[in-house]
Structure 1
Amino acid sequence: MATQASQLISITPGSTEPIYRQLVEQVRRLVAGGQMAPGDELPSVRELASSLAVNPMTVSKAYGLLEAEGLLARRRGLGMLVAERPRAKAGSSSQAERSALLRPTLERAAREARELELDPDTVLTLFTHILKEQS
């Protein structure tokens, strides 16, 4: 499963967002969106750093932050795994967690729409169209 996870994770080198933050956000999204489930193994620090061509310390920092927030768990001899989450918490806040993950992306899109001087109705129509296209 770690190989599959490494294929789902990518970075944007020219982004203003630091690479470790990109990794943290992507793992959060993969877990919140159900592409990674509790118990799924993540690639080792070395494996992911090599596949993304980044410093292993960058991956280690991202994994450490995710472990500190309880999203990942370190298991001796197995590496990092998606942590088990209490059912009540996962069931009740799953929608809120996913919405919170989407908010920064929508804020950037809204800022860009304002810069392009697009009216809200046009933007919402376009967004609705894109959502339906991808389904």
Structure 2
Amino acid sequence: MIAILGLGIEVFTTQLISIWFAISALINLFLTSMHGSLKWQLIQFIVTGVILLLIFRPFAKKLQPKFHPMNTADGMVGKTGTILNNQRVKVDGQSWKYVADAEVDVGNLVQVVALNGVTLKVQKIKDREE
């Protein structure tokens, strides 16, 4: 029962802590079949769980992929866009509010140099007519 509970907790947390105690509980299942006393089973469960946690968790953490949530704004710096009007620029098919240090005209190609909240800071690349 403890093994199932530990595995169930690990499915929802994925912190690689309860999995080691679940494995310890499975080992404890075999001790129960050998008629070990409850005291020794409890000692084995705790000691084995802690040892497994200390030895294998650092290796398992290295193998876990790093999760980096990405939203639309991530990765905008460096992309190019087209000025739609004096307030909006189109980058990757989306319209964004923008600011620019130099004057830009409708149709100018610009490059995103920074992101401040939901406003892109852009720099003119070249005129469309050129």
- Same fold? TM cut 0.5: no
> Rg bigger for which structure?
2
Higher relative contact order structure (alpha carbons within 8 Å, sequence separation ≥ 6)? 1
TM-score (norm 1): 0.22
More strand as a share of residues: 2
More helix as a share of residues: 1
